[in-house]
Structures are given as C-alpha cells and as structure tokens.
C-alpha cells in the first residue's frame, strides 16, 4: 500500500512515521506532507532521511492510504481532494467524527466498520478524540457485560495533546523563561505547576469543546444514543505526555467485581490490574500502545456503579497507533 502522512512534522505525524517503520504492508517510503512552512525539511524513516513536501492537489494521485494529522481545517480542505483521488483517508482531526456517514473507529471495539466500508473508490474513516479512545476501551467491555446507563469522566490531559507548540510552552515555563511578545500562547493560563479545567472553545451550555467530543464520540463508538448519560470534565495538566481519566460508570444491573475484571482482562489492547490500590501513571505508559485500567472498585453508595482509573499514551493509542491499526485493517482488504 502506497501511504502518505499529512501533518508528518507534528507530534502525531512523527509518532505515525515511527509506527509505519514496522508495517510490512507499506509499499515504498511514505509520502511526507505538511504545509509550506516545513516543505523541504527532513525526517528519518527506516534509517534514511526523507524530504517533507507541501501538500498540493496532486499529492494523493498515487496514494492508497493517507493518514491525516494536520488539524481540522487541513482535513476539511484536503480530505475531499484525497478521497476524490480514490485514497482512503484516516483522519485524526474532529472535522468529520460526528457525521453520521463517517465511521468513527476504535479497532478493538468497532473495527468491523472498516471491513464493511473497505474496497473500491476510497473514503474517509475518523479516528476518535484521544481521551475518548482510552475511555471507550475501558467502558466498552462493561457495556457488553452489565449494560451501561451512565458514564462520568474527569480527564487529566497531557500538554502533548495540544501539539508541539503546547509542549514547548510548558517546557519554556518550567525552565522559567518568560514568553516573548511574539509568542502565540496555546494555554489561557500558566500551565506549569497548575491545572486548567478548560480545553477547546467554550460552548453555550457551559461545557468546553473537548468535553463535548467525549460525550458525543463515546456514544457513537458504543452505538448508543442519548439513553446513555455521559458527562465529562476535561482538565489540562502539566504532564508532557499521557492522558489519565477517572471514570465512574453506572450499569443496568449490580456490578460483580470478578466479572468486571474478567471482561476488562479479556480485551486486546487493554490491561487491567485487579488490585484496587494498583495503578499506572502517565509516565509509565509513555511509549506504550496499550490502555491501562487500574483502581477498579465498587461504589459503596450504589451496587450498580464502578469506579476506575484509565491511562494511555495519547500520541499512540489516542492518535497514531489507533490510526495505524485502522490502516492495517484497510491493508488487509482490497483498497481500490
């Protein structure tokens, strides 16, 4: 499969490139695309330097699968161009995720949507929001076993979720360097030694964009509607990489802890620890492809409720790895 990465110079794009190095279905080198700002720069792939090109109308003429991580506006511009060339686009932005006709895929949960859609003419598959992916991975098995009625999430999201400028901003603040007048700050307040309970634009209902993504995307991935109550408070924390989420679910029937452990432990891509005092931290999952569930315990106030702690590398399972998994599903099918 001839593959392109649009947004190759970004945090997610670089993580994708690293993962693609191990993919046997790749035919030749991936085409590295970005804006005119980084055209001509070099990135390493399988020990060699490849040149980044500016994306143009002709970029996709020869491409079977394009992994997009250039942001929403870039996807809205180049998505139709690529699919019009017969390319399969796997899009990391939020531009198309909630469109009914677009599959929103976490391969371990609803990967069958990729097979149904593959074959012939190209198309677009959306990669969910980073926090949504890890929460969906943790609650999908509980949905199957106990039936979910409510999901309440508080995320603690690393700065890498905001892209390379966000990481540079935290690093600058930690080093005690003041911003210069020309700096375009990513965060609305200092992020070093602080937490900010606001990610994305403010919405009229009192929530923020990131919280709304978790609510809508989680329902879509689980194939549920508004009968599933979902709430989310999304918090930016001064962690470089790795998102955490404190999750409480309320089920249709009383939760049996042993059955919950079995359901969670039986999923590819998911690791669970049965000791309620055991957990992993973002630093421990940095560079890993799995989603880790710890602190699993019953809610003493409600026998239908369960609490847990979910951590994952937002650049890998939350973005690049999930996208490459989708590409692998496509690569197994005839793509055009």
Q: How far is the CB of 253 from ligand NAP (least distance, A)?
A: 34
- Out of 2, 18, 23, 71, which residue is the one contacting ligand NAP (CB under 6 A)? 71
Whether 292 is a known active-site residue: answer: no
Select from 70, 65, 2, 1 the least CA-distant residue to 33. 70
Residues touching ligand NAP: how many (CB under 6 A)? 29
- Binding segment (CB under 6 A) for ligand NAP, from list 32-40, 194-202, 217-225, 255-263: 32-40
Kindly compute the dihedral angle of the four CA atoms of residues 182, 188, 189, 192, in this order, to the nearest 10 degrees. Answer: -80
* Minimum CB–partner distance for residue 304 and ligand NAP (Å): 32
Q: Are 127 and 102 in contact (CB under 8 A)?
A: no
Q: Does 7 bind ligand NAP (CB under 6 A)?
A: yes
- Mask: binding to ligand NAP, 131-170, rule CB under 6 A, as x and -? -----------------------------xx-xxx-----
Q: How far is the CB of 157 from ligand NAP (least distance, A)?
A: 8
Q: How do beta strands 42-45 and 48-51 pair?
A: antiparallel
Q: Does 318 bind ligand NAP (CB under 6 A)?
A: yes
Question: Is 12:319 a contact under the CB 8 Å cutoff?
Answer: yes
Residues in the chain: 336
CB of 225 to ligand NAP, least distance (A): 24
Asked if 130 is an active-site residue, the reply is yes
Whose CB is nearest to ligand NAP? 10
- Residue identified by tokens 């990391």 is 92
How many other CB atoms are there within 10 angstroms of residue 336's CB atom? 13
Q: Are 291 and 316 in contact (CB under 8 A)?
A: no
* Dist CA 289 CA 225 (whole Å): 29
Task: Name the segment binding ligand NAP (CB under 6 A); options: 134-142, 226-234, 266-274, 310-318.
Answer: 310-318
Q: What Å distances lie between residue 207 and 87, 144, 225, 244, CA to CA?
A: 36, 29, 19, 19
Question: In the complex, which residues of this chain contact ligand NAP (CB under 6 A)?
Answer: 7-13, 34-35, 37-38, 55, 69-72, 74, 92-93, 130, 160-161, 163-165, 314-315, 318-319
> Where in the sequence numbering do the catalytic residues fall?
130, 243
């Amino acid at each position: 499969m001839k593959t392109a990465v649009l947004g190759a110079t970004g945090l997610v794009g670089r993580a994708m490139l690293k993962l693609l190095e191990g993919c046997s279905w790749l035919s030749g080198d991936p085409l590295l695309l970005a804006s005119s700002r980084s055209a001509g720069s070099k990135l390493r792939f399988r020990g060699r330097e490849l040149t980044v090109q500016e994306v143009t109308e002709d970029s996709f003429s020869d491409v079977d699968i394009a992994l997009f991580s250039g942001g929403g506006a870039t996807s809205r511009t180049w998505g139709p161009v690529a699919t019009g060339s017969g390319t399969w686009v796997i899009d990391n932005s939020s531009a198309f995720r909630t469109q009914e006709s677009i599959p929103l895929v976490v391969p371990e949960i609803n990967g069958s949507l990729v097979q149904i859609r593959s074959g012939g003419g190209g198309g677009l598959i959306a990669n969910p929001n980073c926090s949504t992916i890890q929460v969906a991975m943790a609650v999908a098995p509980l949905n199957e076993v106990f039936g979910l009625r409510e999901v309440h999430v508080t995320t603690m999201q690393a700065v890498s979720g905001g892209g390379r400028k966000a990481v540079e901003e935290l690093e600058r603040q930690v080093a005690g360097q003041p911003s210069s007048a020309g700096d375009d700050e990513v965060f609305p307040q200092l992020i070093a030694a602080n937490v900010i309970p606001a990610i994305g634009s403010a919405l009229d209902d009192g929530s923020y964009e990131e919280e709304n993504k978790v609510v809508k995307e989680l329902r879509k991935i689980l194939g549920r509607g508004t009968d599933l109550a979902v709430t989310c408070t999304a918090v930016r924390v001064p962690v470089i990489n790795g998102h955490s989420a404190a999750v409480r679910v309320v089920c249709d029937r009383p939760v049996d802890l042993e059955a919950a452990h079995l359901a969670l432990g039986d999923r590819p891509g998911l690791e669970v620890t049965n000791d309620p005092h055991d957990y992993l931290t973002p630093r421990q999952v940095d560079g890993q492809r799995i989603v880790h569930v710890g602190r699993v315990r019953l809610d003493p106030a409600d026998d239908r409720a369960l609490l847990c702690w979910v951590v994952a590398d937002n650049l890998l399972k939350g973005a690049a790895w999930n996208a490459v998994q989708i590409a692998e599903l496509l690569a197994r099918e005839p793509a055009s």
